Amino acid sequence: MPRYSSGKEGKPRALAKFFAWFNRMFGSGTEIYLRLSGAMIRKSVLALVVLAACGLAGLFFGRLLPSSFLPDEDQGYVFISMQLPNAASQGRTAAASRDVEKILSATPAVQYYTSIVGFSC
């Protein structure tokens, strides 16, 4: 290790101490990095095998899932929740519900509908 002095023999300057510490830490970090990099390179084949297995499993299970937009379990139900302003009367709520029912009855794709007024989540 080089010797740093401030003109007085045997007393290194504070900056020289910092650089000596920095060089030791940098060297230690470099050694750790090199060891970890070597280990990862040696195990890269294993990582590629695991990655390929995960990809094949994804393809296998992806073929098992239904590909249609709507699954077979879809029963065709639609739930509509209306919320009027606070303190709205039940009569006003019932009138708004009747307006929605008129729209639903005029829609050809709707076969049945029902309303529940006064229920709040």
DSSP-assigned letter for residue 106: T
The answer to whether 96 and 84 have CB atoms below 8 angstroms apart is yes
Q: In sequence order, what are the residues at sequence separation of 6 or more whose Cβ sits closer than 8 angstroms to the Cβ of residue 73?
A: none
Convert the pLDDT of each residue in 35-60 to its tens digit. Answer: 998 988 888 888 889 899 999 999 99
Convert the pLDDT of each residue in 71-85 to its tens digit. Answer: 666 677 778 888 888
Across 2-13, average pLDDT:
58
